[in-house]
Amino acid sequence: MGGKYFDPPPPGNPMADAMAAQTPDQIADPLLRSFRQFADDQGEDRLALSAFARAAKNALSPSDLAGLRAHTLVVAGARDELAGDPQQLATLMPDARAVALPGCDHFSTIPHASFKATVFDFLDGELD
C-alpha cells in the first residue's frame, strides 16, 4: 500500500460487490473487474473475499503508524494508482523505508522480480 491507504472509501462497497457478482462481465469498473478476474484466475474463494471486503475497515490510523517501532518496508508500483506513493505512507512511521518499483502497477508489483529482490534485500539487512 501507499499514500492512498487513508483516503476515504468509495460509497457502498464496490469491491465486495465485484467479488459477489455472478460473472466478471457484470462488473462495470475495469479495475474492479481486474481484481475479480485475478481472484478467479488464482482460484480464490470470491464469496469469502466479498465477506472480508464488507468487514474490512482501515485497521490502522496515522497515529498507530507513528507508534510503530519495527523497521518497516513499504513497497508499491510507481504506476500503482490504487495504492499511491509508498513514501507518503512510510513518512508516517518512524523507521520505514519506501520503494516505488518503476514500471509496475497494482497487479504487476508482487510477481515482479524487483519486488522480490527489494524484500530480500530488506530482510537481509534485518537478519544480520
**pLDDT (tens digit, 9 = 90+) per residue, 24-80?**
999 999 989 999 998 999 999 999 999 998 886 667 889 999 999 999 999 999 999
Q: Running DSSP on this structure, what letter comes out for residue 31?
A: H
Average pLDDT, the chain: 91
Spatial distance between the Cα atoms of 85 and 103, rounded to a whole number of angstroms = 13
Domain co-membership, 8 together with 28: yes
Q: Is the model's pTM score more than 0.75?
A: yes
Question: Do residues 77 and 32 both lie within one domain?
Answer: no
- Examine the domain organization and report whether 51 and 77 are in the same domain: no
Using 50, 70 and 90 to split pLDDT, how confident is the model at 128? low
Q: In this predicted structure, what is the pLDDT of residue 121?
A: 94
**Domain identity same for 34 and 51:** yes
- Residue range of the domain that includes 49: 3-55
My answer on whether 78 and 117 are in the same domain is yes
| Cell numbers at 43, concatenated | 482460484
83 and 114 both lie in a single domain = yes
